[in-house]
């Protein structure tokens, strides 16, 4: 059986597509064709106006607002969107995104298979980064949960991590993860390879893939992580070699 060592690309390297009558430019950055059979990552850029309706049959979706403001119209209710916000869409729900302009509304979408666990009773549609407590991760790094079991999403975890200038020890996780670099620059150490990273870099880390994200810049790097099944981003298995 072939061993999947992960995948890295950039949203700028993926050709965009736009359906007729839609305001969204869509780039599918990670899916099964990249060796990621369960999670699908897309970068969405909405022009001013209201998008076509969207619906995921059999898949749950978490969104993250990178920049811009707008309104999520979900099953007849309206939810304001702002930067650094996570959004939880339940399988089968229909929604559209309204961008009031004048600039674009930039989102990152990750979908996962519908959960056999269902949806928790405390389901929340939106979660603000500013409302979540910072938690410690490895090597003086921190993260904040956005969509997780606290929002009723029982088997997918969405978080934003902050990496100061540093290189953490190489490590692995048990879960399947996709990462999007929000800001900053550095180097991805994936197995035996090294790849430059910057804003818009997209990464797939299969379970037990040896890796570390090095921040080689002068300021903090911020990354969006989504993984399945859910768990704790700070739980890592350190490589001592």
pTM of the model: 0.95
pLDDT at 191 over 70: yes
Residue 2 makes CB contacts below 8 A (sequence gap 6+) with none
Q: Comparing 15-128 with 129-238, is the CATH topology the same?
A: yes
Q: What is the pLDDT of residues 153-175, one digit of tens each?
A: 999 999 999 999 988 888 888 99
pLDDT at 137: 82
Residue 7 has pLDDT above 80, yes or no: yes
Q: Quote the percentage of the chain above a pLDDT of 70.
A: 96
Weakest-pLDDT range from 68-77, 91-100, 131-140:
131-140
Buried/exposed code over 196-235 (b: 16+ C-beta within 10 A; e: otherwise): ebebbbbbbbbeebbbbbbbebeeebbbbbbbbbbbbbee
Would the pLDDT of 4 be above 60? no
pLDDT of residue 175: 93
pLDDT at 241 over 80: no
Mean of pLDDT over the chain: 93
Structure tokens at 63: 């969104």
> Which homologous superfamily does the CATH classification assign to the domain defined by 129-238?
Jelly Rolls (2.60.120.10)
What number is the average pLDDT over the span 10-29? 97
Which class in CATH covers the domain with range 15-128?
A: mainly beta
pLDDT > 90? residue 195? yes
Once rounded to an integer, what is the mean pLDDT over residues 11-36? 97
The residue ranges of every structural domain in the chain are 15-128, 129-238
Q: Is residue 235 scored above 80 in pLDDT?
A: no
Element (H, E) at 223: strand 221-228
Coil, strand or helix at 121? coil
Q: What is the pLDDT of residue 5?
A: 81
What confidence score (pLDDT) does residue 240 get? 53
Residue 178 predicted with pLDDT over 90: yes
Q: Is 2 exposed, middle or buried (0-12, 13-18, 19+ CB in 10 A)?
A: exposed
With a cut of 50, say whether residue 2 has pLDDT above it. Answer: no
Q: Which of 126, 174, 130, 134 is nearest to 150 (CA)?
A: 126
Which tens digit of pLDDT belongs to each residue from 89-123? 999 999 999 999 999 999 999 999 999 999 999 99
CA angle 61, 83, 168 (to 5 degrees): 80
Q: Is the pLDDT confidence value at 45 over 50?
A: yes
Is the per-residue pLDDT at 1 higher than 60?
Answer: no
């Amino acid at each position: 059986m072939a061993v999947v060592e992960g995948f890295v690309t950039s949203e700028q390297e993926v050709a965009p597509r736009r359906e007729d009558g839609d305001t969204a430019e869509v780039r599918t950055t990670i899916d099964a064709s990249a060796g990621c059979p369960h999670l699908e990552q897309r970068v969405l850029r909405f022009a001013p106006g209201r998008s076509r309706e969207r619906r995921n049959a059999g898949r749950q979706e978490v969104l993250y607002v990178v920049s811009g403001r707008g309104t999520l119209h979900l099953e007849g209710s309206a939810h304001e969107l702002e930067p650094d916000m996570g959004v939880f869409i339940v399988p089968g729900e229909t929604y559209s995104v309204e961008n009031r302009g004048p600039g674009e509304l930039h989102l990152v979408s990750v979908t996962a298979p519908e959960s056999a666990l269902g949806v928790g009773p405390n389901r929340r549609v939106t979660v603000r980064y500013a409302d979540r407590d910072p938690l410690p991760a490895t090597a003086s790094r921190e993260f904040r949960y956005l969509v997780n079991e606290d929002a009723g999403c029982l088997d997918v975890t969405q978080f934003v991590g902050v990496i100061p200038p540093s290189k953490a020890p190489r490590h692995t996780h048990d879960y399947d993860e996709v990462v999007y670099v929000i800001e900053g620059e550095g180097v991805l150490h994936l197995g035996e390879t090294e790849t430059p990273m910057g804003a818009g870099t997209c990464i797939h880390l299969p379970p037990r893939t040896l890796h570390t994200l090095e921040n080689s810049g002068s300021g903090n790097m911020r990354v969006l992580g989504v993984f399945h099944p859910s768990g704790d981003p700070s739980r890592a298995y350190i490589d001592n070699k």
